[in-house]
A and B are shown apart, each in its own frame.
Chain A
Amino acid sequence: MASTLVKKSVTDLTRRRARAVFAILTLAIAVASIGIFAAAPLMDRAMQDEVRASRLADLTLQTKPLVVSKEQLEALRRLPNVTGMQALSVVQTRVWIGERRQKAIVVGVPDYARQQVDRVAITSGTAPRAGTVLTDVQNGGRYDGGVGDRIRVLGVGDRSYALRVSGVGRNLEWSQTGVNGDFVVLYSTPETAARVAGEPGYSLFAFRLSNTSTPAANRTAADIRGYLRANTSFTRFSDLPTIREPGSYPGKEFFDQLASLMNVFTVLALLAACVLVANTMGTLIGEQRREIGMMKAIGGRRRQIRRLYLRTALLLGGLGSVLGIVLGIAIANMIVRFFGSTFFAITPGWSISVPVIVASLVIGILGPPLAALPAIRRGTRVPVREALDEVPPLEGGVRAVDRLLRRLTFLPRTAQIGVRSVTRRTRRTIATVIQIALAVGTLVGVLALMNSVTATTEAAWNELHYDVDLNTVVGKQLDAKAARLIRTTPGVAVAQPVLMNTVKAAGKDAAAWGLSPQPMFEQKVVSGRWFSASEETAAARVTVIATNIAKELGADVGDTVSIRTASGPRRLRVVGMTGTQMENGLLFLTPLSTMRALLDSPDTVNAYWVRTTTPDHALIDRTTTALEDRLAAAGYSIGTNIRYVDQARNVDTNRQISMAIGILGFLIVAISMVGLVNAITMNVLERTREIGVLRCIGARARDIRRIFAAEGLAVSLAGWLLGIPVGYAFARLLNWLLVELVKIEFTFTFPPLNLLIALVGTVVLALLIMRLPLRRAVRLKPGKALRNA
C-alpha cells in the first residue's frame, strides 16, 4: 500500500493537469513575491560595485576657483591619510538647445587616463581635449546630442562656445546631479572650463582616504586647508567638507527609503499570496473528499491519508518554488535595473541574493503543506458515509446572508443565480474577497500617497514668494555690483540677497540661510518669533530653526545650538521655530548679517531671490534670461532656478517616485486576480454537472457566462467594499512611514475619487480576467459535463 500511496501523491497531480498547473503557478507567484526582498541588497551590491569602480571620493571640498600647480596637486596627494586625489574645474552655465537655454554644468577633468578619484567613465567615443566635451549618459530628455554633434555653451561675458561632442561619459555623482537638478552635464578639460568660467582654477577637490572615519577625514580636511592657505591664494572653503560615510553613496538614503516602502508592499503581497495558497490547497484537498472516504472505507488510516496529501502538497511546493525562485530573481533584477538606470545612471548586471533564495525555497516548499493541513484535517475527519455520498450536499441558501441575497429580485435571473452562488463556498469566497480587498487597499493607499505627496510638495513650494533664484556656489560671489545689475534688470520688482550654506548640527547635515527680516518666504512660525530688524543690524547670533532639526537636536526656543560651518563651529540662540518643510525641515534661518559674520563673508552673498513685476510665466522667463546675460557679461558665473518650473518638476518627480513604488502594488493586484480566476475556475469545475443540467433545461452560452460573471463581480465588489477601510489604513501607514523615513510632515489626504477609480479598475480587471474560466464554462458540452463531473 505504501508505494501505491506514494504513487498516488504524484498521479493526483498528473491526472488533473490543468488544476496542478494552476496551483503551481499560484505558488510560484507567492514565492516570487519573496524575491522582491532581494531588490534592496542587490541594489546595494550593484552600487557598491559602482562605488569601487568609480573610486568614489571619501572627502570633497569646494572653493572659489583656485589656481593650483601640478607640484602643489602632487603635494596634496602625498598628504597623510590621502590615497588618491582629483581636482576638478566646475562651472555652472547654460547651453543652447535649439532656441532655448538649459541649465548646464561643465566639469573639467585634468587627465582622463589617470583619474584617481570620482572617475568619469567614457562609455562611448573618446576622451575630450580642448574644445570638445563628453555628454553625460543621463542628459537624454534635456540634451539628445551624440558623438560628432556640436553644443553651444554660454560663457561669461556673454560669449558662446560651440564645443564638439567627442563621446558619452558617466559619473556616479555628476550624473545624479544632472537628473536631480535638471542640468545638462558636460565633461571637458580644465582649460575648456576656464574659458567658459572666464577664470582659471580648480573649484572642487576630491580625495580618497585610507582612514575614512569622520575624525580622520576632518583632520585631513584641516591639513588640506592648512596646505592651501600656506601655498596658494586660498582663503576658505565655500561650503562644509563633504565626508562620505563608509558604505554610503549618492542617493543611498533615498534608495533605502524607497526600499523600506517597497518592503511594505512586499509584505502585503506575501500576505495576499498566503491567503491564495491556503485557498488553493484547501480547494485541492476538498475535491478529494470522495477519494478520502473510499480510502478510509478500504482500511486507510488518517495518518496515512494525511501523509499522502502532505506529499502532494510538498511536491506542488517544490515545483512552485523552483518556478517562483526563477520569477523572483527576474522581478528583483528588473526592479534593480529600473531604479539603477532611472535614478542612479547605472545598468546593474544580473545577480542573486542567496539568503532570499534559501528563504524562498524553505517557505515555498513548506508553505503549501502547512497551508493544506487544516483542509487535510477537515477532509480526513468527514465520516466515510458522508464522504461517499453520491448526492452532493446541498450547500448555500439557508443563512441570513442568503436570505438577504434572495431579496435582489430586481436582478435578471442569471445574475441572481450568480450572486447567490457566492455563499456556496464560503471559505473560498472569503479568501478571494480578502485578496481583492488587499489589492484595492493597495491601489487606494498608493493613490492617496500620490495625492499626499503632491499636495505637500506644492504647499512647500508655495512657501516661497519669489519667482527666480539666482545662485553661485563655486563661482564669483555676488557683490554690490552684482546687486546693482540684478535690481536694474527689466522685469525685476524686488531682489533680496540670500547667503546659503551647508552646516552640520549634531552630526547631521542641515542647511543654513541668511535672510532679510522680511524674506520672500512664508515664515510659518510655530513658536517663539522671527528675528527682528535690529537683530539684522546687530548681526545678532540668533536663529529660527525648523521643527525637524529642532527634534533632532532636542532644542527649543531660548536654547543655544552649536553648528559647524565652513568657517568653523558657531553658536546661535534659538528665538523661534518654523514649520517649513523646505530642505526636509533641516534648516537654520538667521539674519543675513549674522550669516555673513558666521562665514566671514562680509560683502558678498551667493544667492538672490527675485520677484518679477508680474507672475506671468513668459515675463519670468524673459527676466531670467536678461539676468543671466547681464551677470554673465559682468563675469559672474551663476545658476538660475525658476520657481514655477522647478515646482512643476518636483511635483512630477515625486509623483513618478510614488508611482514607481506603486508599481509593486501590481504584484498584489496580480495575486488577487489569480485568486479570482482560481475561485471562478474551481467553481466552474465543481459545478460542471450543474452547468450540464442548465444547458439541458435551455440555458444558452451567454446565460452560463452571465451566471459566473455575476458571481465573480459580486465577489469583486465585496472585495472593493472591504478594500475601503484596508486602503484607508494602508494610506495612513504609508503616510506615517514617509514621515518617519523622510522627516517631512506629509498632508494626509484620502479623496473619494480614488475609491471610484478603484471600483472601475476592479470591475474592468475582474471582467477581463474572468474571460478564461468563463470560456471554459461556456464550452462545456452537456454530455461531457454530466458524465465527467
Chain B
Amino acid sequence: MTATLSVEAAVERTIREPLIELEGVVKIYRTGKLEYPALRGVDLTIDGGQMVAVVGPSGSGKTTIMNMITGIDRPTAGSVVVDGQQIDELSEEQLAVWRGGNVGIVFQFFQLLPTLTAVENAMLPLDFARKGSKRARFETARHNLELVGLGDKLHHLPAELSGGEQQRVAIARALAPDPKLIIGDEPTGNLDTQTAADMFELLERLNDEGKTVVYVTHDLELAARAGRVVTIRDGLVVGE
C-alpha cells in the first residue's frame, strides 16, 4: 500500500524556539498504599519541527512522558510547557480544549468510535471545538482522509476498514485541528510490518511539512528513523 500523499518541496527547517519543555518532572502513581514513581525528575526539551522517538523498556516511563506532554496526566512535581503554554496549571476542561486545538494524538489501538463513519471520526475534534460550519469541518476531514489515502472510504465504518486503514483514519483525526504537535503512543504497534512501514512514512511526511512528531516505540528500526531518539529507563532520561 502506498500513501498517495503528494510531498511538497522540502521545508527548510529553521531553528525555532523549543516547542516542548519538561523541567524536573516527577510523576508518582498512588494505588492504595503503594506508591510507584513513574518519572523521577525528567528534563526534556523538544524543538519545533523535530521527529523524536522515545524508547525504553516496559515500565520505564515512556507513556508517562507522553501523557505529561499531552496533559493526559499531571506531574506530581516540575513543570510542562508546550508551545508556550504551561499545561500543568490548566484545569481538566481547559486541557481538553487545549488538546483539541493544539495536539493530535494517535493511539496504539486507534480508538475510533465504531458507530461513526471514517469522515465523522476524522472531523470529531472539530465538532468538539465547534470550529467552523458543518460543511467546513466535513471538507477538512475529507481533505485529511485524502491526505492519508482514504478519500474513497469516507463513509465506511471502522468495522469495514482494515487495521491499517483504521490507523490512517486515526491519523486523519489527529490532523483535524491542524496541530503543530503530533503524539503517537506505539502508533504502529498493532500493525503488520508492511502497514507499519507505510504508516511511518505518513508520519515522516507530516514531519516534513513542519509538524513536530513525537512517538513511543519498541521497534528499534522505527526508532532509528527518527531525527532524535530519547531513551528512558526507570523514569529518567538516560540517553539521546
Contact = CB atoms under 8 A, between A and B. Distances in A.
Nearest to A701: B93
Given A394-B159, A417-B116, A699 B96 contact: yes
Contacts of B109: 390-392
A703 B128 contact: yes
B157 to A, nearest CB: 4
Contacts of A699: 96, 100, 128
Contacts of B96: 695-696, 698-701, 782
Contact of A786 (B72, B74, B97, B128): B72
B115 A697 contact: no
A686 to B, nearest CB: 12
Contacts of A786: 67, 72
Contacts of A781: 73, 92
A703 B95 CA distance: 14
A397 B125 contact: no
Interface in A684-707: 689-690, 692-701, 703
Contact of B157 (A392, A398, A416): A398
A687 to B, nearest CB: 10
A421 interface: yes
A396 interface: yes
Nearest to A405: B115
A402 interface: yes
Given A391-B109, A783-B67, A783-B72, A396 B99 contact: no
A420 interface: yes
Interface in A164-182: none
B111 A693 contact: yes
A413 interface: yes
Contacts of A423: 115
Contact of B100 (A396, A421, A690, A697): A697
Contacts of A390: 109, 190
Contacts of A783: 67, 72-74
B37 to A, nearest CB: 16
A694 B116 CA distance: 13
B113 interface: yes
Contacts of B111: 689-690, 693
B115 A698 contact: no
Contacts of B178: none
A395 interface: yes
Nearest to B98: A698
A783 B125 CA distance: 18
A689 B105 CA distance: 14
A690 B190 contact: no
Given A417-B113, A783-B72, A786-B72, A693 B128 contact: no
A698 B126 CA distance: 8
Contact of B113 (A690, A698, A782): A690
A424 B115 contact: yes
**B interface majority secondary structure:** helix
Contacts of B114: 394-397, 424
B215 interface: no
Contacts of B120: 413
A420 to B, nearest CB: 4
B200 to A, nearest CB: 20
Contact of B115 (A397, A689, A696): A397
Interface in B79-121: 92-93, 95-97, 99-101, 105, 107, 109, 111, 113-117, 120
Given A697-B105, A697-B173, A420 B115 contact: yes
A698 B129 contact: yes
B125 to A, nearest CB: 5
Interface band, chain A: 35 or more
Interface in A404-454: 405-406, 413-414, 416-417, 420-421, 423-424
B158 A394 contact: yes
User: Which of B113, B116, B158 has the largest count of A CB atoms less than 10 A from its CB?
Assistant: B113
Contacts of A413: 120, 124, 127-128
B158 A698 contact: no
Contacts of B73: 781-783
A334 B158 CA distance: 54
Contacts of B93: 700-701
B100 A698 contact: yes
A696 B105 contact: yes
Contacts of B173: 697
Interface string A330-345: 0000000000000000
Given A397-B158, A397-B159, A421-B115, A697 B72 contact: no
B50 interface: no
* Residue of A402, A417, A423 with most chain B CB atoms under a 10 A cut-off: A417
Contacts of B74: 783
Contacts of B125: 697-698
Most buried by A among B97, B107, B115, B116: B115
B61 interface: no
Contact of B128 (A392, A405, A424, A700): A700
B99 to A, nearest CB: 6
B28 to A, nearest CB: 13
Contact of A697 (B99, B158, B159): B99
B23 to A, nearest CB: 20
Contacts of B144: none
Contacts of A696: 70, 72, 96, 99, 105
A683 to B, nearest CB: 13
Contact of A417 (B92, B100, B115): B115
A692 B158 CA distance: 19
Contacts of A693: 107, 111
B235 interface: no
Max chain B C-beta neighbours (<10 A), residue from A414, A417, A420, A783: A783
A396 B115 contact: yes
B45 to A, nearest CB: 23
Contacts of B67: 783, 786
A698 B158 CA distance: 20
Contact of A698 (B92, B97, B107, B159): B97
B210 interface: no
Contacts of B129: 698
A398 B100 contact: no
Interface string A762-789: 0000000000000000000111001000
Given A413-B124, A701-B93, A703-B128, A391 B190 contact: yes
Interface string B135-155: 000000000000000000000
B43 to A, nearest CB: 21
A402 B113 CA distance: 13
Contacts of A782: 72-73, 92, 95-96
B178 to A, nearest CB: 13
A788 to B, nearest CB: 10
Contacts of B41: none
A690 B114 CA distance: 10
A698 B111 CA distance: 14
Interface string B174-192: 1001000000000000100
B240 interface: no
A655 B70 CA distance: 62
Contacts of A421: 115
B160 interface: yes
19 contacts: A397-B114, A398-B160, A405-B115, A416-B116, A417-B113, A421-B115, A690-B113, A693-B107, A694-B124, A696-B70, A697-B100, A698-B99, A698-B125, A698-B128, A699-B100, A701-B93, A781-B92, A782-B72, A786-B67
Given A424-B114, A697-B125, A703-B128, 13 more contacts: A394-B114, A394-B158, A402-B115, A413-B127, A413-B128, A416-B116, A689-B111, A692-B72, A693-B107, A694-B124, A695-B99, A696-B70, A783-B74
Question: Which 5 A-B residue pairs are closest in the complex by CB-CB distance?
Answer: A698-B100, A420-B115, A783-B73, A698-B128, A413-B127
